[in-house]
Each structure stands twice: as structure tokens, then as C-alpha cells.
Amino acid sequence: MAEQTELLGPDELERAAALIRDGRLVVFPTETVYGLGADAGNREAVRLGFAAKQRPPDNPLIVHLGGLAGLSAVAEPVGALERALLQTFAPGPFTLVLPRAAGVVAEVSAGLATVAVRVPLHETARRLIALSGRPVAAPSANRSGEPSPTDFAAARAAMEGRVAAILDGGECRFGIESTVVRVDHEARRVVVLRPGSVTVEMIGTALLELAAGPAEHGAGVPDDDSRERAGWSEYGVSYSASQGNAPSGSEERTALSPGTRHAHYQPRAKVYTLPPNLREDCIPADVGRRVGAMVLAPTPSWPELDTRFVRVFGNSEEYGRFLYRSFAWFDSVGCDAIIAELPEAHGVGIAVRDRLIRAADGRRAPCR
């Protein structure tokens, strides 16, 4: 049944915070994508959130904090390396899986003993969470399976009539969901469960820097802390790329991050991926009546494609920022197929590839 949704400006944070405290749902902006927020300690509110986006109950939610001060209420115990990673990447598009504490209801974690925690960078998000005084459980504010909203209009299109309020925070700076990681101490690695704008390379660099310790202690006598820290340089970063929705990348990743097994990020138009460095040899064959294309600069010369429906991105960051908005635009102009050139697999390119391959459900552009 449709609910009257309040549309709020960034100066109406008090109202939004009161709704969260009241156990209602509030869609709010973050630097990645818009989130569908509920009080993480309120079982009924969390259930409403699952219902509003028709999310499978076995797919856990991320708990958002206003800052690391509130960490112990939601996650415990937090190891030294885990804390150091959070101190490095929070606030930002980074989510860490930790043991779940009492302040978070089991439904948030879909019954798992762990909880995913993130401190958003977006000022409006952080102020909303701080004002509400609650940890805020928030999946992306899309309906299950669809692309995540990355601006106010898309958030309205997805959630108006299903939530108490939608808070306007403009366009999301990164445009793709946060990097989700967990630390596997036995295997001595940081496992990337979902790639994002905090890249595999950035995490690797952080491990080396954290192992070296703060500069002022460099010449001092090694203490217990510095010995533990030094061991962090042996930790690797691992990520295994997805092959589409089914079957998902690796058995292990699916078991540990249940969200990665569900269909995801799909616009109405059928998406077909085109591997990098293939464009000269491949003029995409007919895949639909009105075909959109997303490519990296420079623009390829594909005479068959209607140039009105081509989006060109300067680099992977820009590709990520405009990815879901481009999907929505192709749908709005009636494209029935989208050919998406995959970026190279490094940096943010890894995350963009992941979203595109899932959106395409493994389909590749046929070449003529």
C-alpha cells in the first residue's frame, strides 16, 4: 500500500532523524549511492526495510555509523588490524565485516554472527546518523535486483510511496557501492567481498604503511604493538572476480557475503559486455532495435550505432560515477540493449567490471 513520503531538504535533518528514532524508513544520500535507512537496533524497522525493497531475508545489511566512536556498540571484539583499517579508510566508501555486538538486531545480519560496518563520508549522512543517535542499517535504496539510485530523482523513482521520507543530498560522488572486506587472519589476507572505490591497490598500500607504523616510532625500541604491526606486511589482499550472477565468483565469497549471489544492478535494457581492447576488431552485432553504448574515451567508430545513445567516459572513476545514472537514462530513452565496454581490471576498473558483468548476467556483445 502506498505511503505518503515526505521529501526533505538537507536543512530538514532533525525531522529525518526523528523518523529514524521512531522506527520509520528514511532514504538518505551517501557518497556511494543512496541508502534506505532504519534503526539497526529496532527489529520492526529493519523488517520494514527488507519489505520496502523486496530484499531476500538472507542478504545482510550494512550498519552505518556517524563516526568510529560508536563502533563498540555494534561490533565486538575489533582486532588491532581491523581497527587500523577503519582508521585508514573511514569515513569513506569502505565497509568492514566484524563480529556482531548486542546493539544490532540479528535480522540486520540475516542471522550471521558478523556485521558489516561503514562510516559514510557524505556530510548529510553523517549528520543524520549523529542526530538520530542510532546505528543506521541501510541497504542501497533500489528495489532488489535493480541499479542503485545515485541522485535524488532516482531515489524518488525507486522508493517514493514505500518509505516515510527521502532526504535530498544531490548527486553521489562515487556512484558505485562501497568496498566490502573482511580480514582472514588464518590465511593472512584481507578478502575483498565486493570491490568498490577503495581499491585492492589502496588496501595493499595501507597494509604496508600500517606495518611500518607511525614515523615517529620508527627508530624506537620495538614494543608488543610494533611486533604485531610488523606482521601486517605479510597480509595479502585477495579478490576473485565475478562471472555474472549465477554461479557467482567463488563459492567462498558467496557463502561469506551472501549479497553477491543475488541478481543485481540490472536496468530494463539488456546489458552486453565488450572486453577491453576489442573494439577495433568488434563491431557489435545486432542486439536490439535501439542500442545504447557505454565506452571509455576515445569514442570508437561504430557506424551502425546511433551516436545519440553513446556515453563516453574519460576513466574508470567517471564510468563508476555515471554508471547507474546512464542505465536509467538509456531506459528512459527507450533503449532495449546496452553495450558496455569493460574497463581494464585495475583500480576502480575492478569494481566497474564487477557491476557490469552482474548487470549483463554474463552476456557478452556478439561481434560481427
**Interface with ligand TXA by CB under 6 A: which residues?**
30, 32-33, 35, 59-62, 95, 97, 109, 112, 114-116, 118, 138-140, 177-178, 180, 193-194, 256-260
Question: Which of ligand TXA, Mg ion, none does residue 97 bind to, with CB < 5 to 8 Å depending on kind?
Answer: ligand TXA
Q: Are strands 270-274 and 189-194 parallel, antiparallel or unpaired?
A: unpaired
Helices within 160-238 (DSSP H only) = 200-212, 224-231
Question: Which of Mg ion, ligand TXA, none does residue 60 bind to, with CB < 5 to 8 Å depending on kind?
Answer: ligand TXA
Q: Which of 95, 140, 199, 245 binds Mg ion (CB under 5 A)?
A: 140
Distance CA 18, CA 24 (A): 9
Find out whether 302 and 283 touch, Cβ atoms under 8 Å.
Answer: yes
Query: How many chain residues bind Mg ion (CB under 5 A)?
Result: 1
Q: Please report how close the Cβ of residue 84 comes to ligand TXA at its closest, in angstroms.
A: 20
Distance CA 73, CA 58 (A): 23
Sorted by sequence, the CB contacts under 8 Å of residue 61 that are 6+ apart come out as 40, 46, 49, 108, 109, 110, 116, 137, 138, 139
Q: Which residue is nearest to ligand TXA (CB)?
A: 259
Q: Is the peptide bond before 343 cis (omega within 30 degrees of 0)?
A: no
Question: Which of Mg ion, ligand TXA, none does residue 207 bind to, with CB < 5 to 8 Å depending on kind?
Answer: none
Indicate the residue among 180 and 348 with the shorter CB distance to ligand TXA: 180
Distance CA 133, CA 135 (A): 7
Indicate the residue among 59 and 88 with the shorter CB distance to ligand TXA: 59
Question: Which of Mg ion, ligand TXA, none does residue 46 bind to, with CB < 5 to 8 Å depending on kind?
Answer: none
Q: Segment near Mg ion (CB under 5 A), from 133-141, 149-157, 225-233, 282-290?
A: 133-141
**CB burial readout 169-188, b (16+ within 10 A) else e:** beebbbbbbbbbbbbeeeee
CA dihedral 277, 279, 284, 290 (to 10 degrees): 110
Indicate the residue among 296 and 359 with the shorter CB distance to Mg ion: 359
Q: Classify 274 as helix, strand or coil.
A: strand
Distance CA 27, CA 160 (A): 9
Indicate the residue among 141 and 237 with the shorter CB distance to Mg ion: 141
Q: Segment near Mg ion (CB under 5 A), from 61-69, 94-102, 140-148, 274-282?
A: 140-148
Question: Could you tell me if residue 347 is left (phi over 0), alpha (psi between -120 and 50 degrees) or otherwise beta?
Answer: left
Indicate the residue among 32 and 273 with the shorter CB distance to ligand TXA: 32
Indicate the residue among 111 and 214 with the shorter CB distance to ligand TXA: 111
- The maximal CA–CA distance of the chain, rounded, in angstroms, is 70
Question: Which of Mg ion, ligand TXA, none does residue 194 bind to, with CB < 5 to 8 Å depending on kind?
Answer: ligand TXA
Question: Which of Mg ion, ligand TXA, none does residue 73 bind to, with CB < 5 to 8 Å depending on kind?
Answer: none
Indicate the residue among 101 and 287 with the shorter CB distance to ligand TXA: 101
Q: Please report how close the Cβ of residue 191 comes to ligand TXA at its closest, in angstroms.
A: 10
Q: Please report how close the Cβ of residue 140 comes to Mg ion at its closest, in angstroms.
A: 3
Q: Please report how close the Cβ of residue 249 comes to ligand TXA at its closest, in angstroms.
A: 12
**Count of CB atoms situated within 10 Å of the CB of 102:** 9
Find out whether 25 and 15 touch, Cβ atoms under 8 Å.
Answer: no
Q: Please report how close the Cβ of residue 53 comes to ligand TXA at its closest, in angstroms.
A: 9
Indicate the residue among 265 and 330 with the shorter CB distance to ligand TXA: 265
Question: Which of ligand TXA, Mg ion, none does residue 266 bind to, with CB < 5 to 8 Å depending on kind?
Answer: none
Indicate the residue among 119 and 291 with the shorter CB distance to ligand TXA: 119
C-alpha dist (Å) from residue 48 to 104, 137, 228, 249, 300: 15, 11, 43, 30, 46
Distance CA 273, CA 358 (A): 10
Q: Which residues would be at the binding site for Mg ion (CB under 5 A)?
A: 140
